[in-house]
């Protein structure tokens, strides 16, 4: 892609502080051109979609490995942290940590971060996304259940959910038709 071939250090500096590169130099830009199939703006937009106040630090190494540390700040408080590690040689992205402040729970933030991470891994051509969940994290992942529960995210992934309501739907029927449910998801596997 011509946009990637033309990248310079200045293109990455334009994204600061939203996206800050660890050790930004010509070697980094060369590694980006070799390994990353999307523009830095596309990476930032995908990773931070729906996450106002998010900033990320990105490291990329000549061997195709790297990491992203995303922090979500609001009102001077850290609301969430997402740490990703990736390797292009193994075509893998791993979620190393997700931490959400108690004051930011119950708002779909976890789902949004997972959704953005899945989209980013896909855009990067990484074939697997792994996570090691322990303690409360294993509970959080188990209770996600139908994914994603956020209506806007669900409709983005499942266009059939955008179908118009049937003309004779009223009351509870209309509500049932408007909101995604487990029956709208494809079977697992």
| pLDDT tens for each residue of 80-105 | 999 999 999 999 999 998 888 888 88
Asked if 153 and 119 touch (Cβ cutoff 8 Å), the reply is: no
Residues linked to residue 134 through DSSP beta bridges, in sequence order: none
- Cα Rg, the chain, nearest whole Å: 19
In CATH, the number for domain 2-144 is 3.40.630.30
Cβ neighbours for 34, distance < 8 A, ≥ 6 positions apart: 62, 64
Q: How far apart are CA 1 and CA 5, in angstroms?
A: 6
pTM, rounded to two decimals: 0.73
Each residue of 1-36: pLDDT tens digit? 789 999 999 999 999 999 999 999 999 999 999 999
Taking only the tens place, the pLDDT of each residue in 112-151 is 998 899 999 999 999 888 876 665 554 555 555 444 445 5
> Which residues in the chain are classed under CATH 3.40.630.30?
2-144
């Amino acid at each position: 892609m011509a946009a990637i071939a033309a990248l310079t250090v200045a293109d990455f500096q334009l994204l600061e502080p939203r996206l800050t590169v660890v050790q930004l130099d010509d070697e980094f830009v060369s590694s980006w051109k070799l390994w990353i199939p999307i523009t830095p703006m596309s990476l930032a937009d995908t990773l931070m979609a729906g996450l106002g106040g998010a900033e990320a630090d990105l490291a990329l190494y000549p061997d195709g490995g790297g990491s992203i540390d995303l922090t979500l700040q609001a009102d001077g408080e850290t609301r969430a942290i997402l740490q990703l590690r990736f390797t292009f040689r193994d075509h893998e992205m791993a979620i190393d940590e997700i931490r959400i402040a108690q004051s930011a729970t119950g708002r779909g933030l976890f789902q949004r971060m997972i959704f953005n991470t899945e989209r980013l891994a896909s855009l990067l051509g990484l074939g697997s996304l792994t996570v090691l969940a322990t303690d409360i994290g294993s509970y959080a992942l188990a209770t996600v259940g139908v994914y994603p529960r956020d209506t806007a995210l669900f409709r983005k992934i499942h266009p059939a959910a955008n179908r118009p309501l049937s003309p004779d739907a009223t009351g509870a029927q209309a509500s049932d038709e408007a909101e995604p449910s487990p029956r709208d998801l494809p079977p697992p596997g």
